[in-house]
Amino acid sequence: MKVWKFLSVYFLFYSFTFPAFEVQNFNSQSMALGGVSSVCEPFLNPATLSFTSGSMFSFNTGNIFGIKELKFHQIVAVLNRGKKWNLRFIGSRMGGDLYIESFFSMGLSVKIVDSFSTGVNLNVYEVIVKKYVSSMRVTFDMGFAYDINKKLLISVLFRNIEDGLKGKMYSNIPQEFYYAVNYRVTQVLSLYLELYKDILYPFTFRMGYKISPIKYIDLLAGYQIYPDRFSAGISLNLSFLKVSISYLNHGVLPGTVYYGVGCYLK
């Protein structure tokens, strides 16, 4: 029975890990926006931190319907050090009795000029199949962000670039490319667009909307093409506290609910 459970979990994860499932993206806000994650929390592109205000800390968790043994947890912390540089930390864990996938990332952003910044990530990935195998990888990312008139934020992110330099075409941690735009149409409406690519799959397009009908409420919705999934969520934003919940309908997995709570330090 244990062998059957191991094989089921192994082939399930192997089949949709890239790009359908990214442990670093488990975040209630990101998932509500169709999976967009480089220009919003959890800020996979550290360069975008230069155009955020204040420090923050958030905790996110998720639940896949029908798969009780699979748990997700994520912590995101941003340390805003003014106009020159910022730090971001991500810690994520997914797994159950047999399989555990962990991700830790430390990001640094440096503002070059008022409208342009760059950033780097140091990432640690660990995969454990209990009683069978475990592995750990360390990778680096490079990101850039350009803010136009405080309304249009353009983000470019290259992930796990050192494997590409070494020529490891079929690494289990693939090289990835993100091109994203956050367009603040009005004070009420924001548009998020993200183009994602890794070396194993065609381009994935993600699109999200954020509507703020009243001061403390954000309504979120998103869609991703290949693998197809759509999502929606709501966020309550107070002066120091943020509570959010989102629902993701995945083309491969059953429906998933993500919960998040965070605090803001101005």
Q: What SS3 class is residue 30?
A: helix
Q: How far apart are CA 81 and CA 90, in angstroms?
A: 17
pLDDT at 167: 45
Q: How many CB atoms lie within 10 A of CB 150?
A: 9
Share of the chain above pLDDT 70, in %: 80
pLDDT mean over 244-262: 81
Instruction: Provide the β-strand partners of residue 159.
Output: 176
Segments forming the whole domain that contains residue 92:
2-265
Q: How far apart are CA 127 and CA 34, in angstroms?
A: 25
At 26-62, the pLDDT tens digits run 788 888 898 899 998 889 999 999 888 788 899 998 8
Could you tell me the CA-to-CA distances from 242 to 37, 189, 234, 266 in Å, in that order? 18, 19, 11, 13
Q: Residue 252 pLDDT more than 80?
A: no
Q: By the 8 A CB rule, do 189 and 209 touch?
A: yes
pLDDT mean over 159-175: 61
At 190-242, the pLDDT tens digits run 999 999 987 777 788 999 999 999 989 999 999 988 778 889 999 998 878 88
Q: Residue 166 pLDDT more than 90?
A: no
pLDDT at 164: 45
CATH number reported for the structural domain that contains residue 20 in this entry: 2.40.160.60
Q: How far apart are CA 225 and CA 215, in angstroms?
A: 31
Buried b / exposed e along 181-211 (16+ C-beta atoms within 10 A) = ebeeeeeeebebbbebbbbeeeebebbbbbe
- Beta pairing class for 204-214 and 217-225: antiparallel
pLDDT at 10: 44
Q: By the 8 A CB rule, do 152 and 145 touch?
A: no
Q: By the 8 A CB rule, do 166 and 174 touch?
A: no
pLDDT mean over 62-77: 78
pLDDT mean over 85-90: 93
**H/E element holding 155?**
strand 152-159
Domain count, the chain: 1
Among the listed residues 89, 75, 173, the one whose alpha carbon sits nearest the alpha carbon of residue 125: 173
